[in-house]
Structure 1
């Protein structure tokens, strides 16, 4: 009998005590669930073995990356409906009794077929390459995420090759307009002037240092741990004839020495601090402080999570950690501000850009879907699926205020406490 979908629907409702919010179609062509809702297609029973082995979002993610489950209909709507089952379960909600879980395990085993579960898809990051946030392990983590092909990133990000939240200042703005607006906003917040020295930590494919040198006349050093990013950025610099003003290095911020480098007038860190880790953040903040001249400004652009009621129980998202940003960590914005202040900075401005990142991610997903076959050829089917799920789910997370992103402007005050900041007017506002 073709009964897998009704049995799966009943299983969800038995364990979680709620109606299944999406329709389910199983490998035996059976269907169950609310008519007209997005459909979760379980293409292979192997997906159930993954769930039995990892009954969490990691099991679902592995099945998604392997192509064993799919969504028919609006992906955002489906993820929103499933969020209540996966991400937004109330900590105080009743837990299923052990007998119920045991029965559910038997049913999954019956539906899923022979044990053991298949190996994780090859796109999953390898683990345990030295101590957490050692130089070697961080380089490997960055390579996993960024060294997947510059052509793939260009397909997703567009010509700007900017991989951080854009700044949408009008309903008619394109992604390119919004990214250019973001780059200029950063330069204005840093009050860049001709002849100054800018350090861009985590420079990506070089967009910010190019904009700052071209439009504001600065001399810039951009550092990244990605070999592919550095090669791409150096070519862009050469093509624009700015090699006399811009240097790109493959280098960790911990390898910069203030006494050797000299002091910088401004430091930017855009979408990089998420890789630092909570245990290293004080060192990160102090390193940037030491690299600035008195009166120099820092612009720290960083994704933040909502605070937990009990921070000691906070757990890193397994899908993001295994497939997207290995060893990455998010912190509440208040903790970020506190640690920058503890390093000696005076925080002068915090701007939340949460809605801007949701718009940016939706545009990146549109770009990916519009050239899907080429994206698969440039990477792999699994890698393209990782990026689609990660970006769509992240867009919803920003829209639902589960995460945010903030630009924190801070200054290393001069002797006597002078910050060199306008007392009222903000010169970065157009």
Structure 2
């Protein structure tokens, strides 16, 4: 273990003081934005390498490390941080559909609800969802996409997997209110879950960021696919390098309180786990859409 440098110790102390002040609402927004830029710059310095061969070597080491890990780690902490919080809280901070993932704003005047629906329409288009298919929504959250598909494609049978009884209770209530009989919600830890069923389409929205061993995960998912099935995965990513969310110092607030056990994939990371054939990628780096969601 390498001892922290003087600069790192100064940074850690400054980050600790800044976070304490931020949590007490003592820092002006302009200063908060500046501190955020400094943190982002630090992350970029950690991730970028001085040459293309070294950048590739870093990626290959990361890929190898994932193959030595379980499918997911720290699942209990992640569940407590996200999915067992009261649904009433998420009704305050999310859109009407409780879409707990990125949205797509067709234009700057779009509302958050418009953006939720636009993104789900894009999912259905790219996953080639058709009426009458069997759909598996892996990591369905509060059911925004499962319910959207069930309402739009009346003859589809939709199965959602979540890891929270709170989420299942909410989705089941929505099904009763909307008289939907084509939705089934299963509460399970995807890293341990097994079943003897197959589906026409499998969709996973912003769940892969909670995973580690993508090879094992994709092998598991492939068992649930028919010969002509399609798997559609949406995950956030960095355009160049992947990294783990790690709690190494007082500045790692996101890891400690929000994203324990998480992964930031690179845009090309899943290409190194060729388990499912005929992969297609639709890279969209839409920072502006994230900004709209935050400001809505």
Question: What residue in structure 1 maps to residue 263 of structure 2?
Answer: 329
Contact 1:276 1:329 in 2 (8 A): yes
Of 227, 241, 246, the match for 1:316? 246
Unmatched segments (≥5 aa) in structure 1: 1-14, 17-50, 93-131, 364-430
Q: Please point out which of 263, 279, 282 is paired with 1:350.
A: 282
1:290 counterpart (223, 229, 234): 223
Matched, 1:87 2:21: no
User: Which whole-Å CA distance do the structure 2 matches of 1:289 and 1:192 have between them?
Assistant: 18
CA shift in 2, pair 1:336/1:183, >3 Å: same
Q: Which runs of 5+ in 2 are unaligned?
A: 1-5, 47-68
1:64-100 per-residue CA deviation (whole Å, 9 max, x = no partner) reads 33x2x5223xx3x4333224543314859xxxxxxxx
Per-residue CA deviation, residues 90-130 of structure 1 (Å, 9 max, x unaligned), is 859xxxxxxxxxxxxxxxxxxxxxxxxxxxxxxxxxxxxxx
Matches within 5 A, 1:8-23: none
Partner of 1:101: none
1:63-212 correspondence runs (5 A): 63-65=21-23, 67=24, 70-72=26-28, 75=29, 77-89=30-42, 91=45, 137-212=74-149
CA distance in 1, matches of 2:215, 2:99: 27
The structural deviation recorded for 1:272 is 1.0
1:241 pairs with 2:179: yes
Distance 1:348 1:84, change over 3 A: closer
Q: Give the structure 1 partner of residue 205 of structure 2.
A: 270
Instruction: State whether residues 264 and 296 of structure 1, in contact with CA within 8 Å, keep that contact through their aligned partners in structure 2.
Output: yes
Cα-to-partner distance string for 1:343-388 (whole Å, 9 max, x where unaligned): 123222313142322222222xxxxxxxxxxxxxxxxxxxxxxxxx
Deviation digits for residues 260-297 of structure 1, max 9, x if unmatched? 2x2110011111111112xx221112222221112211
Distance 2:158 2:109 in 1: 32
Shift of 1:205: 0.8
Structure 1: how far apart are the matches of 2:32 and 2:84? 28
The corresponding residue for 2:13 is 55
Q: CA distance change for structure 1 residues 155 and 286 in 2, over 3 Å: closer, same or farther? A: same
Check whether the contact 1:58–1:319 (CA below 8 A) recurs between aligned residues. no
SS in 1 for 2:223: helix
Residues 351 and 62 of structure 1: CA distance in aligned 2, closer, same or farther (over 3 Å): same
Which residue does 1:105 correspond to in 2? none
Q: Tell me the distance in 1 between the aligned counterparts of 2:70 and 2:294.
A: 27
Rounded to whole Å, the distance in 1 between the matches of 2:105 and 2:38 is: 32
> Paired residue for 1:219?
157
Q: Structure 2 length normalisation: TM-score?
A: 0.78
CA separation in 2, counterparts of 1:314 and 1:326? 10
CA separation of 1:63 and 1:286: change in aligned 2, threshold 3 A: farther
- Compare CA radii of gyration and give the structure with the larger one: 1
Alpha-carbon RMSD across the aligned residues, in angstroms, is: 2.9
| Matched residue SS, 1:194 | coil
Give the corresponding residue for 1:230. Answer: 168
Whole-Å separation in 1 of the counterparts to 2:229 and 2:222: 9
Change (3 A) 1:174 1:255: same
Structure ranking higher on relative contact order (CA contacts 8 Å, 6+ apart): 2
- Partners of 1:59 and 1:360 lie apart in 2 by 29
CA contact (8 A) 2:201 2:230 kept: yes
